[in-house]
């Protein structure tokens, strides 16, 4: 069952590359008492993710901060090394956007946002979505109908909904 507005996000351990290599990031710790934007996407280095989705949050980062958002987190079903390299190459890291790996897809499955598209080699990937989370609770949820679209999940659309 997919996550809905008003639901509490399940706890999850995601991964990032730190100074000593891959390290776990407890999502509940990042959400507790904070206003956070989470956006999920099918994969690092894919066309729409790189050309549209990530740039929409880089462009709007300061506007989210002005609305009290403490952190913007991108979650993707990739390994942490790919996520780290992609964060560098897109400018997300320099912009202050956190990119976390859901390497085994457990979080993505737990919130019902997983999909598989064998013709393009996507197995257990994330649908494209955006959520505004306040203290672990989903306040706004925007899910795209197709993983190749980036309109209702773009940063600008979420800003308008806040």
User: Which 3-state string (H, E, C) describes 12-65?
Assistant: CEEEEEECCEEEEEEHHHHHCCCEEEEEEECCCCCHHHHHHHHHHHHHHHHHHH
Homologous superfamily (CATH) of 13-161 is Glutaredoxin (3.40.30.10)
Q: For residue 74, indicate whether it is catalytic.
A: no
Where in the chain are the domains?
A: 13-161
Alpha carbon distance 141, 127 (integer Å) = 12
- Residue 99 DSSP symbol: E
Q: Is the pLDDT of residue 31 over 80?
A: yes
Of 82, 114, 116, nearest in space to 100 by CA: 82
Q: Is the pLDDT of residue 126 over 90?
A: yes
Per-residue tokens: 50: 């790189």
**pLDDT score of 102:** 98
Q: Is the pLDDT of residue 105 over 90?
A: yes
Alpha carbon distance 118, 11 (integer Å) = 29
List 49, 74, 83, 150, catalytic entry: 49
């Amino acid at each position: 069952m997919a996550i809905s507005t008003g639901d509490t996000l399940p706890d999850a351990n995601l991964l990032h590359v730190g100074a000593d290599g891959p390290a776990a990031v407890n999502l509940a710790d990042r959400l507790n008492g904070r206003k956070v934007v989470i956006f999920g996407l099918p994969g690092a280095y894919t066309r729409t993710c790189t050309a549209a989705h990530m740039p929409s949050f880089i462009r709007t980062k300061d506007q989210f901060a002005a609305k009290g958002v403490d952190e913007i987190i991108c979650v993707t079903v990739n390994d942490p090394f790919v996520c780290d390299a992609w964060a560098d190459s897109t400018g997300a890291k320099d912009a202050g956007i956190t990119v976390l790996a859901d390497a085994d897809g457990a979080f993505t499955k737990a919130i019902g946002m997983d999909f598989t598209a064998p013709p393009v080699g996507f197995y257990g990937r994330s649908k494209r979505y955006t959520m505004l989370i306040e203290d672990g609770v989903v306040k706004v949820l925007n899910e795209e109908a197709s993983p190749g679209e980036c309109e209702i999940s773009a940063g600008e659309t979420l800003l308008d909904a806040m």
